[in-house]
Amino acid sequence: MSTASSTKAVAATPPKAIVGIGASAGGLQPLEQFLSHTPVDTGLAWIIVQHLDPTQKAMLAELLQRATAMKVQQATQGMQVNANQIYVIPPNTELRVHNGALKLTKPTEARGLRLPVNILFQSLADTLAENAIGVILSGMGNDGTLGSQAIKAAGGLVAVQQPGSAQFDSMPQGAIAGGGVDIIAEAAELPARILSAMAQMPFNTVQPLAAQMAAQIENAAQQPAPDSALQQIITRLQSHTRHDFSLYKTSTLQRRIERRMAIHNLDSMQHYADFLADNPQENDLLFKELLIGVTQFFRDTAVWDYLTDSALPALLQHSSETALRAWCIGCSTGEEAYSLAITFCQLLQQQPQLRRFSLKIFASDLSPDAIARARRGQYPLAISEHVSAEQLQQFFIRHDSYYQIKQHIRDMVLFAQHDVILDPPFTRQDLIICRNLLIYFDTLLQRKLLPLLHYSLRPNGILLLGSSETIGRSQNLFQPLQARLRLYSRKDPLAHSVRNLPVHSFPPLSTLAKEHPVPSQKTPSPAPDNLQTAADQVLLQVYAPAAVVLNNAGDIVYISGRTGKYLEPAAGKANWNFHAMVREGLRAPLALALQQAETKAAPLQLHRLPLSGADNSMQVDVTVQALQEPAALQGMTMVVFRDVAASQQTDAASDMDFSLAAIQQQYLDEIQTLREETRTSKEELQSSNEELQSTNEELQSTNEELTTSKEEMQSMNEELQTINTELQAKLDDLALAQSDLQNTLNSVEIAILFLDQQLNVRRYTDRAANIINLRESDLGRPLSDLTSSLQYPALHEDALDTLRTLKFSEKQIPTTDERWFSVRIMPYRRLDNVIDGVVITLVDISATKKLEAALREKSRS
């Protein structure tokens, strides 16, 4: 593997794209695996953000340099980002990218609340859009979740480490749960997967944002031809999901489709169209890809401040109703709808005179997954970056890994899956929020939707658009309220200005009349053809009792005779349901009778029922019968009314049936008893609830203190994990260096003995053990206790003298086995120039001595 020694200078060239890599506890090893499998000539720039101890010097750059031949450097203020180079965040900083350069700032939050990965990813999404790439590796907490969503929404690419391979899987799991991940793989596999995806996507060299936007406008594609691959994909999606994407911006569609192509390694859009035909499940995945939600709590704080201070109070003061209605279009996972609910509640707290008003919010989106998440109202802990501590305490419930929206806020919002193009709109709205939705539509669809929004608003209603959206040519429909904040007020234009609405799901009035005819009590009949028919008509109209025929839903489908005494239309919208129209005194008995009649073949008789609950002067006999024939009446029920004569009301008839009335009265008595018992139980529960609430407040206060301590401890733990990993790497290096030193000492033909300041044995080589009797257990023993084959009784005194005077000593000493050694005693000097013992070296000079003796003997002869 290449190391720092092989690192060479590279040309300073702008990168094709920038890869932000986020990691925390347990992140060093996957970072090394990631970089060791990354080619050095990708044309990309790599920025690494890890949770670091703000008080310690970081060694991350030095440690990562061993894993790659690319240049690894710690980021500095204003440093230009170049291709094929790696930049590492310094301790106690927040790192952003702006116009191709690094921007460092000091954190403003406490240690436990810092989210540096989110900050980097958000800046990449804002600056680079589809040229941004985010990678999340091992780590604790949820840092990176919101940032990955921002990159995904901007059209970039997000990859995470397989949670099962991470030492700490919270950060990868959080990003996956947030729905903003394209690639999931082990750290060593991620570089190849990212480069493969990039090969299928149109990445351009990073340039300033204005230049990128100009290039996008210049290169925007035209509408697809009817037989093109893109049109085939649009048609297939429409048949599968009902939604028509043909009026979306073509460039947006192509970019989202190319992401799916890259994941499946398909090199042409026609191949992807064929792939869709063979894989129906891919239609759902592509549909989700095209519905990327861009949302967060209180996005653009200036907008929400203006709503709270000016727009909403003015709307309430001029409203003729106390129940206001708002519609949040494209609500995604619900953050914006809940932001409006929280803003409204805070406004009522600030201005008590407005507390008579209420707000109902309709939040709609095309994605069923987003609506399901919005209904749950659960959001990651990272929302604390956008929601104030006061709002979190007042409107959320803190759990271990998420915040739960409180129930009274949840009850203000009604979520629904809704297609604003195809489905009928929510009407009579006082406020419509439609942010960052129109930017995905082409100009034609935008011009059609704005009249729809106008139609849905009440007079003087407010429209809020996204920061990149305007009303365009619809100045006759809306007037600016705050143009800079994209707030507009509804105008009352000429009728012909809004006659062409894009929604085609309203059936024509004639169709409604045919499908749902309104019954009539008196419809002129054709002239009778003969005497019998004429007589039957007179008998039915004059002498037959009043009767109605009901369907199985209780709706009146036919009326005979005069029923006005027994039935009357209910107030409000026309309602032909029998239970809504029947007189008060008859309502309860007839409801039970209709239920019982369904199971009986014989007619059910009810006698002397009062028409009014408070007045028994008018009574009626009622017959209820379920009809089985003829076939046209099968499943229906007939109810016949007969008035009771005044003379009969005072006479008791032996055959009168009071059973149903008695059952009804008993039923009402039981209900009254149950109501009283329920009221008593409710009072007792209310008392207990107040006690529990008091206890809960105390526990909540304690829990908040513990939560704060837990956050701080978790932050410290992550930093200690990082330091521990770095120190472990250093220990491995030291162990390797020690092994190298030991092998070097043992490989030379010199015996060496290291002594400390007390002349105790510190270290020795194997050859020294052959001269001086040394074993492993002798480490720490004094030199004077050791025996050797050296005939050197002054060895101890010479070592003391060298330690005292710092002068080295060298003598030639014989041994008992007729060998000679050059014994050299030198001071042991540490790197910090401190004397910390002596070093004794013994060099075998036996051969030299033998040669010297031979030469001397020869010279004598």
As annotated, the active-site residues are 24, 51, 143
User: Coil, strand, or helix at residue 519?
Assistant: coil
Alpha-carbon distance of 627 to 634, in angstroms, equals: 6
Per DSSP, helices labelled H in 516-645 are: 531-538, 578-581, 584-597
Closest CA to 285 of 263, 268, 252, 254: 263
Count of CA atoms in the C-beta half-sphere (13 A) of 730: 10
Sheet (strand 71-74) strand order: 71-74, 85-88, 45-50, 18-23, 132-136, 157-161, 183-185
Q: How far is CA 293 from the centre of its chain?
A: 10
Question: What number of other Cβ atoms are within 10 A of residue 331's Cβ?
Answer: 30
What torsion do the CA atoms of 820, 822, 823, 827 make, to the nearest 10 degrees?
A: -170
Count Cα neighbours of 823 within 13 Å in the Cβ-side half-sphere: 24
Given a contact cutoff of 8 angstroms between Cβ atoms, the answer to whether 449 and 441 are in contact is yes
Q: In whole angstroms, what is the distance from residue 14 CA to residue 212 CA?
A: 14
How would you list the strands of the sheet with 761-764, edge to edge? Answer: 761-764, 751-755, 835-844, 820-829, 809-814
3-class secondary structure, 205: coil
Paired residues of 842 in beta bridges: 751, 823
User: Encoding tokens for residue 645?
Assistant: 């004569």
Give CA–CA dist 747/738, Å, rounded: 14
CA–CA gap between residue 540 and residue 542 (Å, rounded): 6
Cα separation, 630 vs 499, whole angstroms = 48
Give the pair of three-digit tokens for residue 523.
């419809």
Pairing type for strands 94-98 and 615-626 reads unpaired
246 CB-contact burial (10 Å; exposed 0-12 / middle 13-18 / buried 19+): middle
Residue type, 426: F
- Name the residue type at position 476: N
Structure tokens at 264: 């499946």
Measured between alpha carbons, how far is 850 from 861 in angstroms, rounded to an integer? Answer: 17
Pick from 309, 343, 310, 303: nearest CA to 326: 343
| Coil, helix or strand at residue 647 | helix
Instruction: Give whole-number Cα distances, 278 to 241, 272, 283, 393, 483, in Å.
Output: 16, 10, 10, 51, 48
**DSSP string of 16-48?**
S-EEEEEE-TT-HHHHHHHHHTS-TTSS-EEEE
Work out the end-to-end distance of the chain between its first and last CA atoms, rounded to an integer number of angstroms.
Answer: 66
What 8-state DSSP symbol labels residue 367? -
Adjacency order of strands within the sheet including 396-398: 378-380, 402-405, 396-398
Residue among 445, 447, 433, 530 at smallest CA distance from 486: 433
Alpha carbon 403 to chain centroid, angstroms? 12
Strands (DSSP E) found in 627-769: 637-643, 751-755, 761-764
Pairing label, strands 45-50, 85-88: parallel
Per-residue b/e over 274-287, b at no fewer than 16 CB within 10 Å?
eebeeeeebbeebb
The total number of residues shown for the chain amounts to 861
Q: Are 206 and 16 in contact (CB under 8 A)?
A: yes
